[in-house]
Amino acid sequence: MELLIDRQITGAEKIFSRLGSVRLFDGRDISSADLGKAEALLVRSVTKIDADLLSSSRVRVVASATSGVDHVDLSFLRKSGIQFFDAKGSNSRSVAEYVVCCLFDYCQLTDARLDDLTVGIIGFGCVGSALGQMLDDLSVEFVVYDPINKATDNAQRASSLDEIFQCDVVTLHVPLTFEGEFPTAGMISEEYLEKLKPGQLIINSARGGVLDEQALVRRIHRTNQLYAIIDCWEHEPDINSELLASVWRGTPHIAGHSLEARHRAAEILYGSLSEWLNVDVLAFPSVESSCPSRELVAHADLTIRDALLNVCPLEVYTRKIRGLLEMTVGDKKAYFDIIRQESGLRSQFSAYSVEPLKLNNAIIPTIKTLGFK
């Protein structure tokens, strides 16, 4: 069997070649003419899967190294008898850590105490619940709004979005959906953005399209002390320049893009394809083998925020992505993908070891709670 695989997927050639012959492609640059004899197609969120791409192909299975599936026409795949697999949950911890980094950065700027904040989580699936666990460990109060996922848990539930928008921080963790009882496309409309007060923080690390970007621009311009962090944008890579220039922090869709998340996504797809093919294959390499251990440089003056900025330098990412403001549409595409790939080389907290004897004793419990070794 021939597998056509996005070259940015971990182990694209070395590992998946155990399942068949492998051919690589660049995620955004693929057409039906490129499919050839491929029977398996492995993609990321940058590749749109629909009838235009697959209707005349030999593809029998599509696997996406993502949690979200808004780039996939699932109805077409079902009607065509094409098997589909995703990597749901693979990036949950990575996104949760990104949001925690945002919170510490926000506290530094506003002189707020982390444990005095209330966080409103919209969407309590894999990512939202992972974030909730981290906030619980850090003794941060949070409220959840998720009318679809009503699983029994200890989370405090909000009765409406209105209640969420009373929190100090609003963070989005929903898929992009257009149908059903609770579609999420445009759910954070101007009506809700108008409820944001000076000093509040709103974070979108879910999907572009769940938030009305132009309404957010207008709201920011009317309230200088409104803090917005956007990781997921509509129409990537040709993103909203006005919004990019207005937000406090902007990143190139990298919240879930850690080395560990990418490894886990590939591992999930490898397992799914192996089972579908009914073949016995060698075990997938351990996460430690492809995600190197790192050392956090410790000293007595190190703060939690300093430690997190070593892992996820939000201000650096923001400076880089604002380079798009000076570019033409054609140049934006390549530059966005370059900085996304570079930023995706970050590791999760658990990859970092730190020498506690060199730290201020006051921060050691939090460092350990966050997962640093």
Question: 258, 255, 239: which is closest to 322 by C-alpha?
Answer: 239
**What are the distances in angstroms from CA 292 to CA 239, 263, 277, 286, 295?**
32, 12, 31, 11, 10
pLDDT at position 1 is 93
User: Could you say which DSSP state residue 37 is in?
Assistant: T
Q: Which helix (H) or strand (E) holds 77?
A: helix 74-80
Q: Taking CA 333 as the corner, what is the angle to CA 183 and CA 61, rounded to the nearest 5 degrees?
A: 55
* pTM assigned to the model: 0.94
Closest CA to 34 of 10, 8, 56: 56
Q: Is 322 helix (H, G, I), strand (E, B) or coil?
A: helix
Q: Is residue 340 annotated as a catalytic residue, yes or no?
A: no
Looking at residue 356, what is its pLDDT?
A: 81
- Tell me, what's the pLDDT at 363? 92
Please report the pLDDT score of residue 39 as a whole number: 98
Calculate the dihedral angle through the C-alpha atoms of 98, 312, 251, 207, rounding to the nearest 10 degrees: -20
| CB 144, CB 112: distance < 8 Å | no
CA 217/CA 207 separation, integer angstroms = 17
Packing angle of the helix pair 329-343, 314-321 (nearest 10 deg)? 160
Considering the candidates 44, 219, 253, 263, report the single residue annotated as catalytic: 253
Residue appearing with tokens 């640093």: 372
Instruction: Quote the pLDDT of residue 45.
Output: 93
Instruction: Tell me if residue 173 is catalytic.
Output: no
Backbone angles phi, psi at 48, to 5 degrees: -85, 125
| 58 flagged as catalytic | no
Q: How many residues belong to the chain?
A: 373
Q: What is the CA radius of gyration of the chain?
A: 21
Find out whether 85 and 69 touch, Cβ atoms under 8 Å.
no
Q: Tell me which of 236, 249, 257, 346 is the catalytic residue.
A: 236
Cα–Cα dist 357/352, whole Å:
15
Per-residue pLDDT in tens (0 to 9) along the chain, 373 residues: 999 999 999 888 888 999 999 999 998 889 999 999 999 999 999 999 999 999 999 999 999 999 889 999 999 999 999 999 999 999 999 999 999 999 999 999 999 999 999 999 999 999 999 999 999 999 999 999 999 887 656 678 888 999 999 999 999 999 999 988 999 999 999 999 999 999 999 999 999 999 999 999 999 999 778 999 999 999 999 999 999 999 999 999 999 999 999 999 999 999 999 999 998 877 777 766 667 788 888 788 889 999 999 999 999 999 999 999 999 888 988 999 999 988 878 999 999 998 887 888 999 999 999 999 8
pLDDT at position 151, please? Answer: 64
Q: Which position among 44, 173, 207, 340 bears the catalytic label?
A: 207
Burial of residue 322 (CB within 10 Å: 0-12, 13-18, 19+) is middle
Catalogue all structural domains in the chain, each as residue range(s) with its CATH number: 2-86+258-286 (3.40.50.720), 92-250 (3.40.50.720), 289-322+343-370 (no CATH)
CB burial of 285-304 (b: ≥16 within 10 Å; e: otherwise) equals bebeebbeeeebebeeebeb
